[in-house]
Every structure is written in structure tokens, then in C-alpha cells.
Structure 1
């Protein structure tokens, strides 16, 4: 198989020089377990940390993260691309791009300033002018009556889910962590007396949009890692229209999502190391009626504060979920249960790289991009049990951050 590789360049202290090319076995094989070979650069670009493909055209789209722009690249040869129109402004630290299933639009998300930006895409794949979507508000600081009611509803749901998410009690949820304490701190002095004083102000929370996914029925979902939001939109002629927001526990940090064929949305949280299951009321209008119905922690051996979840991917039969964890540099396997509604952590396996920024599951093989070890590895996957084995192959690759299977 052939893969396009996103990466960090010198503007991010990386060693890549653009969009790379990886061979995993023969390029015309449906299997990825063969020899790995990094074939060089398909297109020069500044830190194309995330890349996406047009559904029908030979066009790639790159989030040029530290340039704050998105750009299209058109195929010029078997493994070469060239710029296709000018780079278009997105926002601070644009980290993800996604293309609509019909190729009519592109959505970029920016972790630096929280922007969600939609662009029209022309018939030949060029990117049009930006349409900035509604900014997110921190649901934990909005004092409006409606927001308070929504927060209370979310708390009730989270309380019921405390056991499912791996916490012993509601008080253990990140929503009730250090940042949620009162404005005084209590300490016991050397003489045993209660000493009360001003608390150290918690760091200001900042919107950090991180990923977009197009769902069936014309729904668009984005994550906001800074405000702990999963936001749902519908797309119209003037851009994205916000239809609903689901609030996850405070400090959990929703990062990426994956769509399960059962109709459930799985959301991995970078900071609390969990996966939440969201489902939609079938009677609700498009983009509405979403709620938390289940979830799980990633299990013993993970450590919030020193570990950070990265990518989430399904196995071929959607019976298991595989999550990359940076820090301990592991891969977590989670079993899907109850028709997609429930999840259960199974095991942790060594990823074989330093800082597993991204991974893909291709049948019985997991390919992992090690951002800090400058390499890509392949590991075995037992599709019956979800067990991940040892590293099978390894190849040097400069600061890889994204693996995208090439079709054609």
C-alpha cells in the first residue's frame, strides 16, 4: 500500500520538508504488512501536519499548521503533487482539515485560537474563501440560565456514567478537578490549625478546536479540546450552522472522533484518557438530539497528566477501537459491546515509537507514526481478539504526524 505522510518541518522544529510518501509492502497490494520504505517528498509544504484527500479528484489538502493556512495540492505524477491555487488563511495553529463526502467543501480546525472555518471547494478541487463559523463559549463560565440548565443536565448524565468511564465516583471526574474548586484554599499549618487563603488562580481556559468529521445525514461534528465541547453543525450556502453542543467533563480534552457503523460517535479525550460514546435521538432533527450514552477509561497503566491520547481508529470489523497514547508510548485496545453503545478496555501494548502521534489500522496491521523518534512502524493485529503484537517492520521518516492511505 501507498501512504501520504504529513509531518512537521523546520518552522515547528521538525525534520520533514513537506508531504512524504510511504510504501507498506507492494503499492498495489491491499495489505500493509510488507516491507516499509520511505520514498521521499511528494510536495514541499510548511508543516503539513494533517492531510486529507478529495473524494473523487487527485487533490490533497494540507493544514499548514504554523503558517496558519490550508492549501490544495494536485497530483502531477505517480508520487508527486504541486500547489493547486494559493494558500488560504485559516487561523492560529490549524491542525486538521476534512473534506465533505461530495467534495463540495472543506472544514479546518485551529487549536491555537479555536477557529472552525469552512471553505467552498471548486469543481477542480481548489479552495475558496474562508467562512468562519460561530466561536465556542466556555460552558463552565457562562452564567446564563440556559447554559446553567444545560450544564446541570450534563452533570446528571455524567453522574450516571461515573462507573462506565472508569472513575469510582462523580467527584473523581475531571469536571471536579483542581480548576473547579472554590476561590479559597485550605491548608493545615504546622500547629495543626486550619489556614485559609486565596487560591492560586487557575489557568485561563482557551478554545482549541481540534478535529472535524462529516457524519451521515449532512451533519458535521467538531471537537474543542480547550472547552471540553463536542459541537454539531449543519452545512448551508453561507457556511456552518451550529445546532448543538455536548459538554464533556471539565478538563477531559476531547481530541478526535471516529464514527461507528452502529450509529454511535466515539470521542477520545486527550487529557483524561477516556473514550465517550455519543448517540442521537432518531426522532431529532439533523445535528440535534445528541447525548452521552456510555464510555470507558483507557485502563490501568495510563496516567493523566503524563500521558496524552492521540488518534482513535476502528478495526476492519469495527469490533475493536485502537487508541494511541503519547507519553507511555502505548496503544490501547478497547472492545465494542452492546451494539456499539458500550466500550470496555482490553489491553495496552507497546507502540514501538516515541510519541505515537497518529496510526491507521489496515486489516491485520497497525501502522504508527512516531513523531519524536522520526520513524514509522508496523505491528501485528489479531483481528479476532484485538491484541496488538510486536513491531514487524520499521523505517526512518522525518517527524511524521499523519498517515493517509492513497487510493490509486
Structure 2
């Protein structure tokens, strides 16, 4: 199997020179269980931190994070690519891009300024002009002015209602003596509370820190919260989900006349930082939170409105200051794997019941420093170590779901993303 390797170049503090190529096992095999080899660059690029592949057109799309742009690359050889058109504007620190199942649309998300951007894709894969989606609204309530604290509760509820967040339905109110939302937990969160109830690094989002203080996991104070869009997932029936780890939101959209039209937002616990998501065959959307190191399950109700139905910490072994990164399912969907940077582990979470029950199983050594991204290929887990400049593979125990020891390792410069291509 061949994989495109995204990475950071010197403009982002890394050593990559572009999009690399990793061979895992036999080149023409759908399995990745054999030795690993980094065989060089597919194309030179500036900090292509995320790479996605459009098999319909043999075109790769990369987020040029430091440049705030997305770029298409057409295949010109077995493992060689060339730019297809010029870079197209996205936003500050664009960090993820996804292609729609029909290959007609690219959606990019920007960590730096919170932008969600939609592009039409031409028949040859070329990127069209950007269409910027409506900005996110912080459900906590933006500061009323310089030096101000949270808005009045009624302002919070009004702002949330504009984007479809029903705080009353969640059992949430304004800030009071009990802390944000009165210190109450969220209904349906299986006991995971807003503060101090989740265990693990963030312990419900703040690792024991007060509302005004920053957590050791990097959560900013309330008055400094900014929108930070991070990922896109295309769901069934034309619905699109994006995460915003700055405002603790999962946002739902529908593509209408070439634009992303907002449906509603789902607010996760304050300071949790929803980062990456996985669509599951059961109909659930699983979300890993960067700051609090938890996984939440979301599902639509009878009206089609999405809600949080359960959640769990990644495990008791996560440390203060840890931050979760990628989330990936096992081949059969029975387990979820979350990368944890800091302690440099892979968390294993079992999926039970109808997909709504999540149970931590294990925390295992990732075998790399700063596991930025990982991918499951059948019974193999590939892990990219951003700060150790390497990629490793581990065999997965299909029944227990737990990765074994590192089997193979290959050097790779500042790897941030692993994307199979054929």
C-alpha cells in the first residue's frame, strides 16, 4: 500500500519538503502489514499539513497551512504529482479538507480564524472559487465589550438560538454561583459533567482549573475564546458536520445551491475542544475532544436534530497537559482509536449496544513522539509521530481491539497526515 504523507515544512517549524510517499507492505496490496519505507516526495509543497485523495479524478488536495490556502495536485506518474492550478484562498491556519462522496465538493476548515470554506470541484479536479460559510457563534456568549465577562444569560440564549442551539433543552443556563451553567452536567452524558466529572486530562474540560483560568491542556480563558474550525465529515442524506474546538461546537450543514446552509449546532461541554470526528455505520457521529481527552457520541432524534447521547473519558491514564488528536474506527466499527499527544499513547474505546455506549478499554504506547495522526488499515494501525519524525505500524488484536508492540518503523519528516492512494 502507498500513502501520501502530509507534513510541516520550515515555515511551520518542521522539516518536510512537501507531500511524501510511504510504502507499507507490498505496494499493490490493500494490506499495510509489511515493512515501512519512506520513498521520497510526491511533490514539493509548503506545510501540506492535511492531504485528502479524490479517487474519481486521481487528484490530491492539500491544506497549505502556513499559506492559508488549499492546493490541488494531479497525478503525473506512479507516485508523482504536479500542481493543478494555483493555490486557492482558505483561511488562517487551514488544517483539514474533505472531498464529498460524489467528488464534486471540497470543504476546508481553518484552525486560525474558524472559517469553513466550500469549493466546487471541476470535472478534472480543479478547485473553484471559495464560498465562505456563516461564522460560528460561541454558545457561552461573546464578551459584551473590552474587558467584559460573559454576556447576560438572555444574550447567551439568544446567540445560541441563532445557530440552533437550545440551551434549555440541554439543561443549561447562564453563568451563576455554581460556575458556568450553574455547574450542572449535560443530560445524557452518562455522568460526564461540565467541570471535574470526566476524569483524565481535562476532567470535563478544565482539568480542575477555574472557569476564568486556562487549563493545562491549553484551553483559553473565557474572554479569549475564538472560533477554531478543525474538521469536516460528510454524513448521510447530504448532511455535513464540522467541528469547532474553540467554541466547543459540532456544526451541521446542508449543501444548497453551492453553499453550506446551517442546520443547527450541538454544544459540547465548555472547554472540551471537539477536534476530529468519525461517522459510524450505526448512525452515530463520534467526536474526540482535544482539551478534555474524551469521546462523545452524537445521534439524530426523530426530527433529524442531532444531540449528544453519551460520552466517556479516553482513560484514567491520560495526563494533565495531554491533548487528543485523531480518532479512527476499527475495520468492524467495534472499537475507536484516539491519539493522545503528551503522554504519547493510543486510547482504545469499545463501541457497544446500538452504538451509543462507549467504554474505555486501554491506553497503549504509541511508539512515537506526538502521535498527530493515525490510520487503521484492516488489522494494522499506522501512527505518524510529528515530533519523532517517523511512522510506525502495530498489529491490532481483532477481538480485544488492542494494538500490539511496534512491528515496523520508517523515518518520515514531520508527518501530520497519512492518506492511502491507489
Residue in 2 that maps onto 1:345: 360
For residues 141 and 244 of structure 1, what CA distance do their matches in structure 2 show? 17
Residue in 1 that maps onto 2:177: none
CA contact (8 A) 1:175 1:249 kept: no
SS state of the match for residue 76, structure 2? strand
Residue in 1 that maps onto 2:412: 397
Task: Map residues 129-168 of structure 1 onto 2, 5 A cutoff.
Answer: 129-141=129-141, 143-146=155-158, 147=160, 150-155=166-171, 158-165=185-192
Aligned length: 385
User: Is residue 97 of structure 2 the alignment partner of residue 66 of structure 1?
Assistant: no
Question: Are the structure 2 counterparts of residues 236 and 175 from structure 1 closer, same or farther at C-alpha, using a change threshold of 3 Å?
Answer: farther
Task: Map residues 113-262 of structure 1 onto 2, 5 A cutoff.
Answer: 113-141=113-141, 143-146=155-158, 147=160, 150-155=166-171, 158-165=185-192, 169=197, 173-174=204-205, 178=209, 180=211, 202=222, 204-262=224-282
For residues 145 and 300 of structure 1, what CA distance do their matches in structure 2 show? 34
SS state of the match for residue 128, structure 2? coil
User: Is residue 331 of structure 2 the alignment partner of residue 311 of structure 1?
Assistant: no
For residues 170 and 299 of structure 1, what CA distance do their matches in structure 2 show? 10
Question: Are the structure 2 counterparts of residues 135 and 201 from structure 1 closer, same or farther at C-alpha, using a change threshold of 3 Å?
Answer: closer
Residue in 1 that maps onto 2:306: 290
For residues 297 and 237 of structure 1, what CA distance do their matches in structure 2 show? 40
Deviation at 1:155, TM superposition (A): 3.8
Question: Are the structure 2 counterparts of residues 291 and 398 from structure 1 closer, same or farther at C-alpha, using a change threshold of 3 Å?
Answer: same
For residues 323 and 207 of structure 1, what CA distance do their matches in structure 2 show? 23
Residue in 1 that maps onto 2:21: 21
For residues 266 and 250 of structure 1, what CA distance do their matches in structure 2 show? 17
CA contact (8 A) 2:19 2:41 kept: yes
CA contact (8 A) 1:162 1:168 kept: no
C-alpha RMSD of the superposition: 2.2
Q: 1:134-185 CA distances to partner (integer Å, 9 max, x unpaired)?
A: 0011110151544378223224694334545488759963389646369xxx
Residue in 2 that maps onto 1:386: 401
CA contact (8 A) 1:55 1:102 kept: no
Contiguous gaps of at least 5 residues in structure 1 = 183-199
CA contact (8 A) 1:179 1:202 kept: no
Q: 1:211-231 CA distances to partner (integer Å, 9 max, x unpaired)?
A: 011111100100001000000
Report the TM-score, using the length of structure 1 for normalisation.
0.90
For residues 64 and 211 of structure 2, what CA distance do their matches in structure 1 show? 35
Residue in 2 that maps onto 1:185: none
Contiguous gaps of at least 5 residues in structure 2 = 143-154, 173-183, 214-219
For residues 132 and 163 of structure 1, what CA distance do their matches in structure 2 show? 36
For residues 64 and 350 of structure 1, what CA distance do their matches in structure 2 show? 30
CA contact (8 A) 1:139 1:247 kept: yes
Residue in 1 that maps onto 2:12: 12
For residues 290 and 91 of structure 1, what CA distance do their matches in structure 2 show? 27
Q: Rg: which structure is higher?
A: 1
For residues 249 and 175 of structure 1, what CA distance do their matches in structure 2 show? 10
Report the TM-score, using the length of structure 2 for normalisation.
0.87
User: Which 4+ runs in 1 deviate beyond 6 A?
Assistant: none
Question: Are the structure 2 counterparts of residues 181 and 75 from structure 1 closer, same or farther at C-alpha, using a change threshold of 3 Å?
Answer: closer
